[in-house]
Structure 1
Amino acid sequence: MLAQPGGGRGRIVVVSGPAGSGRTALLAEALDGLAPPLALLSAQCSRAEQNLPLGVVRQLFAAAPLGPGPARRVAELLRRGADGADPRTGEETAHMSPEDAAVAEELWAVVAGIAARTPVGIVVDDIGHADARSLAYLLYFVRRSRTVRTAMVFVEPDETLPVCPLFQDELHQRTDVEYIRLSLLSHPGISEILGARLGGLNTPGLTEECAEVTGGNPLLVHAFATDVESGPPAAADGRGAAVGDAFRQAVTLCLRRSGAEALEAARVLALLGDRSSAALLGRALDVPPRTADRLLALLRGTGLAADGGLRHPAVRAAVLARTPDAVRTGLEARVARVLYDSGAPSPVVASYLTAAPGPLDVADERWTWAVPVLRDAAELAAAENRVPQAAAHLELAHRSASGGCDRAAILVDLARLQRRSSPRAALRRLDPVVRHLATSRFDAAHAAVMVRCLLQDGRHAEARELLRRLDGTGSGRRDPAAAPKRLLGLWLAVSYPGVAREFSADAAPWQSTRGPESDGDALRWRATRLLASVLGGGGDERGIHEAEQALRIYHVTEHTLEPLTLALSALVYADRAATASAWCSTLLAESGLVHAPAWRAQLDSLAAQAALRQGMLPDAERHAAAALSGMTAGDWGAEIGTPLATAVLTHLAAGRPDDAGTLLQRPVPAEMHDGRGGLHYRHARGRYCLHTSRPHAALRDFLDCGVLMQRWRMDAPGLVPWRSGAAQALARIGETVRARRLVAEELDMLRAGPPGRSYGIALRTLAAVSRPERRPDILREAADVLKACGDRYELAAALVDATDAHETLGESKRARYAARRARGAAESCGAHGLLDRLRPPTGAQAGSEPVLPGGAELSGAESKVAGLAAMGYSNRDIGRKLHITVSTVEQHLTRVYRKLNVTRRQDLPAPDTRLPAALL
């Protein structure tokens, strides 16, 4: 049409299509290479110049082939038309005044004059952005173009509403107007473009992916090809091509060409993601449904949208990447409100709220719902171990909450969440709550949580002050503080009994039948009551069964961690170490503990205790090391005594007293001794002192344990066998009668229940302080009990003692049999210290038994005692080196004197060979 505009009549073509469909490219292709005769008058419309009167008409005549005179006349006419422009826009501007009609008539006469000489082409690109005055003049030209050699081409975008609807109406009424409608590319069209751009890189898979991402929009297809050219190679099937900057820029350009409304709609759809719909779009934009439908249709026309939302995640990412933060924040808040009103789940709504920086204005009634939604979403996220999301929700809720009590409650939730990784950091976050509770009215449940945190961190003075305030509140059955107080009192009695004495808890917490009114605290109440019962000397089978049921049902969460660990402790102290160990392994295997190192450390500590009580020394050492490395000493706070004690006892059992001593040199908080962990620590230190020949220091630690356990009414041998330890220390210093009395007392306590590990340990201790002829029978019973309960280390120790007992009595055959059993048990659990006691002297292995001259009739034990005595060692030193009592040394020497026919140690001859280095 442009090449042959003759025939004496005008022709009109309207080119339309969505943004990015190639309208301007098509126009450029048509104009490229056109040769005279054609006077081309062209204009490029722009949204930025839409308010300039006659801006488009001015562009048309700027390119007209006019002489100086006509050019000045046209300029004057354009000035007159612009000065008289009607400030109104829209359809009314098409009704021209006589002055406008006169100007338009003269301008059209100029066009007709040019057309008389040569055909005229009038081309207007993006006419949707033309100023209203120019459209009125162009419409005047269209009405008169039938008899003038003109070719008019108007490129009309789909995305804009007409500034002058009358212009479009008149074009549609004419039968001689030709329309060219550009649509999105088909798969063959996409493949053709990619083939031309990429050559051999194009594959059917790449074409398919391009169609999925771009929807066939030519602008986006070319951008896709650019990114493929500059990006890494795609997979063999052509899939997985990288979408980069070119594509993102093309999406932004396409949206900007589509108009401000379409751009905002695309941003809302990008935020809505899979939840997109016309209804939600309309609510978020606050526009009528028909407007939302129109905007969705416009975006579908560009290929950016499909169905009710954006076409592809790559489009969504491109839209969000080019959205300014301030704009995105406002849209996210609007989307959050829309989703809340539509009944979306709390986590979905909260994800939009937390994306906005700064607190929400909850004083505005439009946002009063936000804080509860955030807290609910945080709880769900924490339950699913999405800790960062939960923390973000709670942080925003805390910044947005208005009341002091609400803010304190949210801080408590935040602290619970942070305790997964660092209890001390969590407590520091709660410092404002501590100050608030110390000076203001407070919620008893929050105060109870704070008391727990303060005690565990070693801040006992603040905890005591808070307890005094809590103790002064009402405690009637209907008082809301009654249930939290009873539960706190019970927890204090089993965890920090040194502090519990200052709080008016039940006199015997394990005997209390008053449970919490709240169902949420029922699990904690049952677990704590079971532990209290076990520590008080009870703990029936029904309670143990309930503990196992709870471990079977519940997973580890902020709310269940404490009751589950209390239940595990009850199993350990009730001599159910194997059961506790199995449940520790199950809980440690839960994936949720990946983001909770503090939880893992607590469970590792319990697993180490259970493994040690089964004699599984390598497992105990591994879990104890994991517990101490999983949390810093500061995070363990006043509870470090338990894992530290387990590690010390494990090193001693493994024959590494130096490592145990190194652990005991670590500083520990004094407040640790107010709690159960302090008992474990004193007992472990006593065992170390006993192992390193300091029986008086060991006795002091054991007796201190006894005093505290009796004062705290938790005198259970399953917790700490202090009587057995004290009896061994007393035997070392020669107070055998007192030692027997303590062991008998412990056995009397244990006979009430089924024989377990604690009973076996007490029997082994009894054998050590009994007459030599009674020891084998007592140790045989101890070995049977320990074998039945599954403690391989204590079994090995009992068998080693039995070996020594039989040697003392000269029962060599029985001694060898016991030694073989002892060696197998010691090797199976890694008890190298016991193996050293069983190992024959170095000289015996070389054929030179380190015995005295003429002492062929002496047993191995008698030879060792006699050799050390001949070298000048005292009876006490000999007992320490051979790990036997002073009484046993004396009995050995009595038999040696009789066999060698001497009356004193000075008469003992020197040994033929050196004793083993381990004895020296």
Structure 2
Amino acid sequence: MALPRELVDLTDTSPLELVERDAELNHLDCLVRDCADGRGGVVLVAGGVATGKTELLYAFAERAAERAVVLTATGSRVERTLPLGVVSQLFHSVAVPAGVWERVTGLLEEGMFTAALSDPESETVEHVRANVVNGLCSALVEVAGGRPLVIVVDDLQYVDVPSLQLLLFLVRRVRTARVGVVLAEGVGPVQARPLFHGELTRQARFRRVQVAPLTEAGVARVLRGAGGLAESVHWLSGGNPLLVRSLLDNHDATGAAFHRAVADCLRRGDPLLLAVARCLVIAGPGVTVAAVAQVLAVEPDAVVGALDVLAMSGLLSSNGFRHEQAVAEDMPASVAADLHHRLASLLHDRGEPATEVARHLVAAGRAEAPWAVQVLCEAADRELVADQAQTAMSYLELAADQCADGPRRASITTRLSGLEWRLNPASGARHLNRLTAAMRAGHLAGADASTLLRNLLWHGRMDDAGDMLELLDGADEQYITALWLSASYPTLRNRVPELPVAPQRGIDPRVRAAQALHAVLTRGPVEEAVTGAEQVLQSTRLDVMSLAPLDNALLALIYADRLDKAAPWCDLLLQEAAARRAPGWQAPFAAIRAEICIRQGDLPQAERHARAALDHMSPQAWGVAIGVPLATLLMATTAMGKLEDTAALFTQPVPPAMLQTRHGLHYLHARGHYHLATNRLHAALGDFLYCGELMRAWDLDLPALVPWRTSAAEVYLRLGKRDQARDLVEEQLGMLAAGPSRSRGISLRLKAATSEEPHRPALLKDAVDQLQAAGDRLELARALADLSTVHQALGEPSRARMAARRAWHVAKGCRAETLLPANEDHLGGSAATALSAAERRVAVLAAVGHTNREIAGKLYITVSTVEQHLTRVYRKLNVNRRYELFSRDDQVASHAHDPVAPRR
């Protein structure tokens, strides 16, 4: 948090003004007055770290020097075991007469010698003989030269024991002496030198002065006129004077300087303060005193004491530690890792949730405990339920790295690869070599082995995939793999025996989806395949393992010409993948949605979804499957006349192995249509015939998959080879199942082109009906355009004009106007009878195919009113059918593609 620049004017190099310390100074001033009256005493100044104790002592020493001789010393952590070090400082703080100094030197040397023979930390041992202590105390009084003597010692917690024993000797005798002792210490989590403090506090003339952080009013006084900032500064600093100074100097609570000031505060106190602060930051909110004590291997009372000190130092608020980032930045990585590991063990022993334990294991980067791998896997499962894939991935990454069991490590790595696919498909391939080695070692089996096989094939590693097929075990996996290879990677299907009987686990979505797709591609749109695909879509939740079955189910519906069923399911899955932030799932569903759109003739949406599919995954991540979205994009841009955009797409390299897969068929077909659009007829014919050659060889010769025959027939017609075209069209018609379909509509349109003129109108009208029912607007526009041409050739201009207008409006709706000539002759003509506004609105909607009920809903009128309007429209325009409305009134035709504003 940056502070306003108003604080710049408040910054100088002088110490902070001594604020809110009047009461404390009064206590100390009283001590000096009492000393002058012969009534000595002792004052202990206590407070949290960096709360201004030292500044208070400095200010007091300056005032006391006017009335007394002041001797000062400061304890030091590094000199804590130096015998009589603080006493020596006292003598060095003033001018000592030569005779006295000679005597003091001898006493100090003797005291240091005897103290060196004892435990420097023991308070129960007499470190210095009584005669030495008495001699040094007498010398201190003698130095005062008859004036009151004030001894000031800062950082009492670091004073050596021999010096403390001398101070106690002196304190016991100040009651009737002109000697005052002022001691200052930083309060610690555990009472330092308990025997010394016990003796000190029993003295009759002992007083304790507590130094607290600044209040908000005190901070306002420090800011000298910028009182409006007091609340922010006080909150950030906790009233700690050192932190207030840092904020004034640097104006930023998030900067390195302020963070160093926080670290300095913690280091000034007992080492346990820093350890507790670090543990609080690592453990997070809600950690208990008992947990901190166990992690740090100290008594709970010590932790409570440390928390009290942190609070009285302004570093800890009721909401927790004020500056966690400062502590975290100052903490060595090894210390943080060790704390995380200790916390993980503690939480596990207490039965805390796996996610809490795993969080600390990952932060520690260690999981060598026997229970750790299992906890990480359980935590990953829980995170995935909440769609926290990135977190789950970090758990599995550590589990795989630390797991010593080969099969289990391979299984974990497979799951990790699937998660990486969800987030960043390009990174999932990094595990393929390790998993391939694991499968060769016999560590990968079942569904995990099938997953590895699919990933190898996806990335075009056909040889490795073939080797893995030899190692695939289990009847279920062999059965599913055989079906899947037949549908998508037919060059390898003979490497796995195709089992004659399906596994008993028919309810498995992988089985149902594979059966449905295989059935459609080998036997056409059989009803059981459509039903099976719908069952998979209805009963399967989107996750890592279900992605492939859901894809296969959607493809089965598409290749069965059931776009009406596939589209809404695909939209739902796309929305879910986006909501769950899974680009690796969005990409394949976007590619499928683009394929649906291209088959519906919705070219703009096909382009949008295909580009989205290629944006969600890089070309490297798409592997051989790039053939599908790239093919759809090629088809869409070609049909919309964006031939420069289409040409640019061919600069995208594709894996050579793609042409060994079903995905390559789509690519060849799309490339052929680009060649056809650019009048490269022989290149187009080559692509279409090669596509057919592959489909025949692979037993995937299904017109609904890729209608290569009708595409090749178009080329033959352009080359003037009608017989070859007719043979291909008839062959394709003979392959189609009974009933209407998109494939039949396309075939009938080409059959009409190869037939004699008198037969063409009926064939084209049948094609129009088939394509309109199938919902393919692009092919419908082509059929209507051909019908217009036929009527014109047969001398039926009215019908030609009607068909041409319908073709034009349908083509314009799907952005394929460049496929059709804008023939003004076909667009002319007008009915003599004018329609009312209400009649025209109904006529427009009827002309584009809406039912009476739909028209009633759009215009907010009754069905009966619609029927009455249409009766009058038919009579005025002298027509009998809806599609004839285009040829009878320019105003109806010209508004047929415009939105109709409903009446309310």
Q: Same fold by TM-score, threshold 0.5 exceeded?
A: yes
Partner residue in 1 for 2:591: 605
Partner residue in 1 for 2:271: 260
Structure 1 residues 340 and 543 mapped into 2: Cα distance closer, same or farther (>3 Å)?
farther
Q: String of CA shifts for 1:604-653, please: whole Å, max 9, x gaps.
A: 32222111111111222233334445544443332232223323322342
SS of corresponding position for 2:38: coil
Of 85, 91, 110 in structure 2, the residue corresponding to residue 61 of structure 1 is 91
146-155 or 214-223: bigger deviation: 214-223
SS of corresponding position for 2:126: coil
> Deviation of residue 676 (structure 1)?
1.4
Aligned 1:294-333 pairs, distance under 5 A = 294-306=305-317, 310-312=320-322, 315-333=323-341
Aligned 1:218-617 pairs, distance under 5 A = 218-227=241-250, 230-231=251-252, 242-306=253-317, 310-312=320-322, 315-356=323-364, 360=366, 362=368, 367-378=369-380, 389-420=391-422, 423=425, 425-438=427-440, 440=442, 442-470=444-472, 473=473, 481-506=474-499, 512=502, 514-515=504-505, 522-537=508-523, 539=525, 544=530, 547=533, 551=537, 556-590=542-576, 592=578, 596-617=582-603
SS of corresponding position for 1:153: strand
> Deviation of residue 130 (structure 1)?
0.9
- Aligned residues of 2:479 and 2:503 also touching (Cα < 8 A): no
> Deviation of residue 799 (structure 1)?
0.3
Establish whether residue 196 from structure 1 lines up as the match of residue 232 from structure 2. no
Of 756, 759, 767 in structure 2, the residue corresponding to residue 774 of structure 1 is 759
SS of corresponding position for 2:177: coil
Partner residue in 1 for 2:104: 74
Of 167, 170, 173 in structure 2, the residue corresponding to residue 138 of structure 1 is 167
> Deviation of residue 503 (structure 1)?
1.2
Aligned 1:14-53 pairs, distance under 5 A = 14-53=44-83
> Deviation of residue 419 (structure 1)?
2.9
Aligned 1:160-171 pairs, distance under 5 A = 161-171=190-200
Give distance in 2, aligned partners of 1:546 and 1:81. 97
Establish whether residue 84 from structure 1 lines up as the match of residue 114 from structure 2. yes
Give distance in 2, aligned partners of 1:514 and 1:726. 43
> Deviation of residue 702 (structure 1)?
4.5
Q: String of CA shifts for 1:380-437, please: whole Å, max 9, x gaps.
A: 5566665654444444333322233344334333332333466565324321332343
Stretches of structure 2 that go unaligned for 5 or more consecutive residues are 1-29, 830-904
Give distance in 1, aligned partners of 2:156 and 2:406. 60
Which letter does structure 2 place at the counterpart of 1:33? R
- Aligned residues of 1:695 and 1:729 also touching (Cα < 8 A): yes
> Deviation of residue 531 (structure 1)?
1.9
Give distance in 2, aligned partners of 1:665 and 1:154. 83
Which letter does structure 2 place at the counterpart of 1:809? L
Which letter does structure 2 place at the counterpart of 1:459? R
Q: String of CA shifts for 1:4-32, please: whole Å, max 9, x gaps.
A: 21222322212222223322222222222
Which letter does structure 2 place at the counterpart of 1:761? I
- Aligned residues of 2:577 and 2:583 also touching (Cα < 8 A): no
Structure 1 residues 258 and 298 mapped into 2: Cα distance closer, same or farther (>3 Å)?
same
Which letter does structure 2 place at the counterpart of 1:219? L
SS of corresponding position for 2:561: coil
TM-score scaled by length of structure 2: 0.81
Aligned 1:662-677 pairs, distance under 5 A = 663=649, 668-677=654-663
> Deviation of residue 281 (structure 1)?
0.6
CA RMSD between the two structures = 3.4
SS of corresponding position for 1:175: coil
Matched length: 799
Give distance in 2, aligned partners of 1:370 and 1:285. 21
Which letter does structure 2 place at the counterpart of 1:790? G
Partner residue in 2 for 1:886: none
Structure 1 residues 170 and 588 mapped into 2: Cα distance closer, same or farther (>3 Å)?
same
Aligned 1:734-749 pairs, distance under 5 A = 739-740=725-726, 742-749=728-735
Structure 1 residues 833 and 290 mapped into 2: Cα distance closer, same or farther (>3 Å)?
same
Establish whether residue 786 from structure 1 lines up as the match of residue 771 from structure 2. yes
Q: String of CA shifts for 1:359-385, please: whole Å, max 9, x gaps.
A: x362xxxx2223333344445556666
Structure 1 residues 664 and 220 mapped into 2: Cα distance closer, same or farther (>3 Å)?
closer
- Aligned residues of 2:219 and 2:233 also touching (Cα < 8 A): no
Give distance in 2, aligned partners of 1:56 and 1:276. 40
Structure 1 residues 455 and 11 mapped into 2: Cα distance closer, same or farther (>3 Å)?
same
Q: String of CA shifts for 1:805-839, please: whole Å, max 9, x gaps.
A: 11222222211111111111111111134323757
259-268 or 155-164: bigger deviation: 155-164
Q: String of CA shifts for 1:56-78, please: whole Å, max 9, x gaps.
A: 11112223553211110011011
Give distance in 1, aligned partners of 2:340 and 2:45. 38
Q: String of CA shifts for 1:330-360, please: whole Å, max 9, x gaps.
A: 2222223223333444443333333345xx3
Give distance in 2, aligned partners of 1:514 and 1:498. 27
Of 663, 666, 675 in structure 2, the residue corresponding to residue 680 of structure 1 is 666
- Aligned residues of 1:612 and 1:646 also touching (Cα < 8 A): yes
- Aligned residues of 1:456 and 1:636 also touching (Cα < 8 A): yes
Partner residue in 1 for 2:787: 802
167-176 or 424-433: bigger deviation: 424-433
Which letter does structure 2 place at the counterpart of 1:489? A
Structure 1 residues 75 and 793 mapped into 2: Cα distance closer, same or farther (>3 Å)?
same
SS of corresponding position for 1:333: helix
Q: String of CA shifts for 1:888-911, please: whole Å, max 9, x gaps.
A: xxxxxxxxxxxxxxxxxxxxxxxx
> Deviation of residue 489 (structure 1)?
2.2
TM-score scaled by length of structure 1: 0.79
Give distance in 2, aligned partners of 1:223 and 1:417. 46
Give distance in 2, aligned partners of 1:182 and 1:425. 58
Which letter does structure 2 place at the counterpart of 1:454? L
Give distance in 2, aligned partners of 1:651 and 1:728. 19
Q: String of CA shifts for 1:134-158, please: whole Å, max 9, x gaps.
A: 1111111122222221111121332
Partner residue in 1 for 2:239: 216
> Deviation of residue 193 (structure 1)?
2.2
How high is the sequence identity, in percent, across the aligned residues? 38
Structure 1 residues 505 and 191 mapped into 2: Cα distance closer, same or farther (>3 Å)?
farther
Partner residue in 1 for 2:812: 827
Q: String of CA shifts for 1:206-258, please: whole Å, max 9, x gaps.
A: 4444444443334334434444xx34xxxxxxxxxx44345323322222222
- Aligned residues of 1:284 and 1:338 also touching (Cα < 8 A): yes
- Aligned residues of 2:361 and 2:367 also touching (Cα < 8 A): no
261-270 or 290-299: bigger deviation: 290-299
Which letter does structure 2 place at the counterpart of 1:826? A
Partner residue in 2 for 1:884: none
Structure 1 residues 207 and 660 mapped into 2: Cα distance closer, same or farther (>3 Å)?
closer
Q: String of CA shifts for 1:277-315, please: whole Å, max 9, x gaps.
A: 2122112112233333333333233232345x7333xx1
Partner residue in 2 for 1:815: 800
> Deviation of residue 585 (structure 1)?
4.1
